[in-house]
Chain A
Amino acid sequence: MQDFFQNLSQQFETFFTQFPVVFQSLNVGFLQTLKLFCTTLLGALPLGLVISFGSMSKMKVVNKITRLFVWIVRGSPLMLQLLIIYYFPGLVWHKPIWGGGEDGRFLAATVSFIINYACYFSEIFRGGIQSIPIGQYEAGQVLGLTKTQTFFRVVLLQVIKRIVPPMSNEIITLVKDTSLARIIALQEIIWAGQAFMKGSHGISGAIWPMFFTMVYYLFASGILTVLLGRLEKKLDFFKV
């Protein structure tokens, strides 16, 4: 019995000495996760809009090429895309265009994520834009609005309202998908937690930091759920 308590108190002691080290390391990893999340969102939202216009284009060539591209990107694993985008230039062209080290890995990961997510977003945008009744455009036209005015003053907010729920889904998935960048050794939070299993800062074989990474993810997705829910509520004043 005494042994048990002694053991327990020892365990607590190690935990408390290890915690600050792990905490700091996980924070660094989480920062990288957040950075990847934010840059992906910033890049993929506008690129997704451009791709959606391509996939709705009346020019057959543009339309077909865009849809083929979207199919390839959505139809294959993001992890595979990460590996190809990161290693291809170096192995095939013998030109490591991404540069070395963590910055290079981050750049490659960002590019892969932006392309991948832009394709998913583009389909959501396309669905949103195409779901707006033609009557809205016609009403704009007979009232003498230009096409640009009709899009920005009449259609856009209705599109946003419609796409908030599916976009929320994608955005929360993105939080978790950032962990895929682990495959090219980007030092995001999973990488940071896993280091303590393998051995880092004199700590090895520790599984609890992995559980602890989960807290970060839950925290981030929790905040996003609340924010996106608020946005949805804010747009509740009208029906489409």
Chain B
Amino acid sequence: MAILEVRNLHKSFGKHEVLKGISFSLEKGNVLSIIGSSGSGKTTLLRCITFLETATSGKILVDGDAIFDGESTVKPNAKMRREKQLNFGLVFQQFNLFPQYNVLNNVTLAPRLRAKEREDYKQNKKQILAEIDAKARTLLEKMGLSDKLDFYPCQLSGGQQQRVSIARAMALEPKILFFDEPTSALDPELTGEILKVIRELADEHMTMVIVTHEMTFAKEVSDYIVFMDGGVIAEEGAAKELIEHPKTERLQAFLSKISD
């Protein structure tokens, strides 16, 4: 069974329809890249799945459970929505780290607040917090940031900030990790370190959805690629095949523009 399934998703802003019926599915441990020119709706798709926008209609299923159903008349309350949200981690283009917390606390803040809702929190507080702390340190070590734990975001390079934000997203153990153009706000020489991290995560079979402009990277790291154009999926297929042998004219035109 697919870990993520999106069925006929629509999204309009006023009269402007940005997503015109998107359907795809993703297997556990696979990496899906979404490519397409600006305005094709790929970021909106990501934002609809991660609840930053509410889709107009369609269905989103995680492990077979509908976490969003446009037909449903039941309005999800804030708590339900929050639970569903925790299926996903999201890495933003602009990092969006919390500037007043140091690196370690950026990563531990959400898990600490979340732990307070555990029933055994009061009894095992010390142990729970120690576990959260240890886990955050392990994640940050993996990101190559062990020596930056007490640095504040403003003291870090863009690449380092983005690595912190990946660790922050992973600290809650999401089932699927989403990346919204993770290297677009970085200087070219810094994109490499982020791509390396994502590649390592892919090797560990982390399920990921990546919106990206890095074609070579997408081809290499993903199992499957979806090409969006004008709010629809114009072409999709296995990563290597899609990039090397595009079938539609639109994708051919897009790829030739990118490689220029």
A→B interface (CB under 8 Å) = 133, 135-136, 138-139, 141-147, 149, 153-154, 157-158, 161, 237-240
Contacts and interface: CB of A to CB of B under 8 A. Distances in A.
17 contacts: A135-B92, A136-B96, A138-B52, A138-B92, A139-B97, A141-B51, A142-B89, A143-B109, A143-B172, A144-B85, A145-B113, A146-B78, A153-B113, A158-B99, A237-B152, A239-B152, A240-B99
A149 B88 CA distance: 19
B90 interface: yes
A5 B169 CA distance: 83
Contacts of A146: 78, 82
A153 B109 contact: yes
Contact of A238 (B88, B99, B110, B113): B99
B30 interface: no
B169 to A, nearest CB: 8
Interface residues of B, number: 27
User: Is chain A's binding surface mostly helix, strand, loop or mixed?
Assistant: helix
Nearest to A147: B78
Most buried by B among A136, A144, A161, A239: A144
Contacts of A139: 92, 96-98
B29 to A, nearest CB: 22
A238 B52 contact: no
Contacts of A238: 99-100, 152-154
Nearest to A136: B96
Contact of A135 (B82, B96, B152): B96
A144 B114 contact: yes
Interface in B147-204: 152-154, 168-169, 172
Contact of B168 (A143, A154, A239): A143
Interface string B43-66: 000000011100000000000000
B173 to A, nearest CB: 11
Contacts of A147: 78
B94 interface: yes
Ordered nearest first, which 6 A-B pairs have the shortest CB separation?
A143-B110, A135-B96, A139-B96, A239-B154, A142-B90, A238-B99
Nearest to A156: B100
Interface in B79-108: 82, 85-86, 88-90, 92, 94, 96-100
